[in-house]
Amino acid sequence: MNTEVKEMLLERAKSARKKAYTPYSNFQVGAALLTKNGKIYEGCNIENASYGLSNCAERTAIFKAVSEGEKEFEAIAVVADTLKPVPPCGACRQVISEFNPKMKVILGNLKGDVSEYTIDQLLPGAFSNEDFQSKEMK
Ligand SMILES: O=c1ccn([C@H]2C[C@H](O)[C@@H](CO)O2)c(=O)[nH]1
Ligand SMILES: [Zn+2]
């Protein structure tokens, strides 16, 4: 993936982060999701007084995109103010892998550190719709 696109996604994630609603953790995260046809959907984390209902930035971006009719994704960038590039939580890894097991995941922080993975590196052996099959198809 070319460096300009990567930089641009990280910038959009950084900008999305400013919209985070985080009165409980005060930990802001932004994400930017790139569709295969070149559109970008931003997301931020959104917390709730009932803590467990909080939604991560990554899932906000994906759910926004899917609700607009998008299902083909190429990459997601995630940014937070962390020492090392912010790792996505397990729930988000599972949701990312649903749509593209080869999705590129670009992780950053505000200092400019960047690391890049594919989702199958971050969640090897993910549960998928193929696991619904109860016996070998002959
Ligand atoms: O990759 C991550 C990790 C955490 N969070 C959010 C969830 C919660 O609002 C806050 C603290 O966990 O950060 C994200 O949005 N993305
Ligand atoms: Zn998450």
Is the pLDDT confidence value at 83 over 70?
yes
Rounded alpha-carbon distances, angstroms, from residue 33 to 37, 85, 98, 122: 11, 17, 14, 17
Give residue-wise pLDDT tens across range 6-56: 999 999 999 999 999 999 999 999 999 999 999 999 999 999 999 999 999
pLDDT in tens, 90-138: 999 999 999 999 999 999 999 999 999 999 999 999 999 999 987 665 5
The pLDDT score that the predictor gives to residue 44 is 99
Q: What does the chain look like in DSSP terms, one character per residue?
A: --HHHHHHHHHHHHHHHTT-B-TTT---EEEEEEETTS-EEEEE-B--SSGGG-B-HHHHHHHHHHHTT---EEEEEEEES-SSPPPPPHHHHHHHHHH-TT-EEEEEETT--EEEEEHHHHSTT---GGGG--S---
Among 4, 58, 74, 130, which one carries the catalytic annotation? 58
Is the Cβ atom of 44 under 6 angstroms away from ligand 1? no
Measured in angstroms, how far is the CA atom of residue 56 from the centroid of ligand 2?
5
Average pLDDT of the segment spanning 53-60: 98
- Cα separation of 87 and 77, whole Å? 11
36 alpha carbon – ligand 1 mean position (Å): 25
Give the CB-side neighbour count of residue 89, counting CA atoms within 13 A: 11
What is this structure's pTM? Answer: 0.95
Domains in the chain with CATH codes: 3-130 (3.40.140.10)
**58 in active site:** yes
**Whether the CB of 108 sits within 6 Å of ligand 1:** no
